[in-house]
Amino acid sequence: MNTKTPDSVARLGRRQLLRAGMAMALLPAVAQRAAAATSPPLLVGGLPVTCNLTLPVACVARASSNSADKSGGAKFEFEYSKYNGWPEIKESLMAGRIQAAYMLAPLVMDLADKKIPVKIVSLGHRSGAVIMVRSDSTYQHFKDLTGKRIAIPSRFAVDFLFLRKMLAREGMTPKDVQIVEMAPPDMPAALYAKAVDAYCTGEPFGAAAQRAGYARALRMTRDEWRNYICCVLTVREELIKENRPLVQDLVNHVLGAGQWLDQKQDNRNTAVTIAAGRKFFNQDPNIIRFVMENPVDRVTYGDLRMIRAEFEELMQLSIEAGTIKGPIAYEKYMDESFAKAARPATIPL
């Protein structure tokens, strides 16, 4: 026999409806957490160069934090995807095979101007380029390189702009030397074999020859161009629209990695061990350590502020070099919102 009154039946119905409504409201959040937990890591392209060192540190730091977090909540993941040259990274980013990468700043400007949907969201380092000559050469001034063969990674590389600045200080132009494009890993051997007289590139490819004893640095950006920027964290606009929290977390970890690297030498030593591994640069740790110590500010990472005037100077230098055809609006290639909202992540390494 049913003893419930009509009022109690009504109250029961309202409670059931309320619970059902609450459950329905929670479904999107539950689904979002489940999706985050099962989604693959964000692949971030990079080269095995110390200008990209903040990326391996950021990836390992995020993984370490995830392992320590037992809450069961959504966790972001980043995975370093190694490339051997800028053209390969550029093609992968253009085709959407990767959604994020460390890229040459002038190259990003050019891509954005060509309507490729990419934006710079953070710097990756400061300084880090060198111009190397043989130890037994008599070259002391850039005038001494007149008519000589000099290797650069690419005409879009900021290393090329650095070379142009140094030539200009001696009253020279690129026409006064023979410039060849060459993959940075091939440069030390080319110098050793006297196939080139000098080369201009990022580390650790200068340090490799210097540590081996047959090369010396003629000039370093740390001495000649203190606000030098080259590699920048770049993401496709679809990723920004679809997952801003993920992009913000990546920026936070890159900035945190930069501060951590410049805090003390012990942190740099830890970073050397991480980066040298097969999962990342797969290089001799002694060469990377040489970069970190000779001198200690050969490459710096702590000041990753994005300053408009510095990017506009870089663009003007690129226009003068002929790698960019004309001025490109800052907002076309830059998204400062993540840097403005950034809270550098703690690096638990």
- Angle among Cα 79, 70, 23 to the nearest 5 degrees reads 100
Q: Phi-psi category of 322—alpha, beta or left, where left has phi over 0 and alpha has psi -120 to 50?
A: left
pLDDT of residue 75 exceeding 60, the answer is yes
The pTM (predicted TM-score) of the whole model is 0.86
What domains are defined for the chain? 41-127+229-340 (3.40.190.10), 129-224 (3.40.190.10)
Q: What is the pLDDT of residues 120-133, one digit of tens each?
A: 999 999 988 999 99
Q: What is the pLDDT of residues 219-241, one digit of tens each?
A: 999 999 988 999 999 999 999 99
Mean pLDDT of the chain: 89
- The rounded distance, in Å, linking the Cα atoms of 293 and 57 is 18
pLDDT of residue 2 exceeding 80, the answer is no
Q: What is the pLDDT of residues 147-187, one digit of tens each?
A: 999 999 988 899 999 999 999 999 999 999 999 999 898 99
Q: What is the pLDDT of residues 266-304, one digit of tens each?
A: 999 999 999 999 999 999 999 999 999 999 999 999 999
Q: Which of 55, 195, 47 is nearest to 122 (CA)?
A: 55
pLDDT of the residue at 69: 86
Mean pLDDT to the nearest integer, 55-60 = 98
pLDDT of residue 36 exceeding 50, the answer is no
